[in-house]
Chains A and B, each alone.
Chain A
Amino acid sequence: MDIIVLGLSHKTAPLELREKLHIPESDLPDALEGLGACGQILERMMLSTCNRVEAYAVVDEVEGTRRFLVEYLAERNKLSPEDFEPSLYLLTADQAVRHIFRVASSLDAMVVGESQILGQVKAAYGTALERDATGLILNNLMERAFHVAKRVRAETGIATSAVSVSSAAIELAKKIFGDLRGRAVMLLGAGKMSELSAKHLLAEGVGSVIVANRNITRAVELAERFSGRAVHYDAARAEMVRTDIIISSTGAPHQILSKADLQEIIVQRRNRPIFVIDIAVPRDIDPAANEIDNVYLYDLDDLQGVVQANLRERQREADRAEVLIDREVAQFTHWLESLKVVPTIIAMRRKVESIREEELERVLAKLHDLSPEERQAISLLTSSIVNKILHDPMTELKRQSALRDGHLYVSVLRRLFAIRDE
Chain B
Amino acid sequence: MIAFKSVFKAFGPKKVLNGLSFEVKKGEIYFLLGRSGTGKSVSLKQLVGLLKPDSGEIFLDNQPLHTLTESQFGPIRKKCGLVFQLPALLDSRTVFENVTFGIRDLPLKEQIARTLKILKEVNLENLIEVVSSRYPPQLSYGEQKRLALARTLVVDPDYVLYDEPTTGLDPVTSRNVHKLIENVSKNLGKTAIVVSHDMRNALETADRIAVLDAGRVVDMGTPDEIRKSTVQLTRDFLADIREDKTR
Asked if chains A and B come from one complex, the reply is no
Q: Which residues of A contact B (CB under 8 A)?
A: none
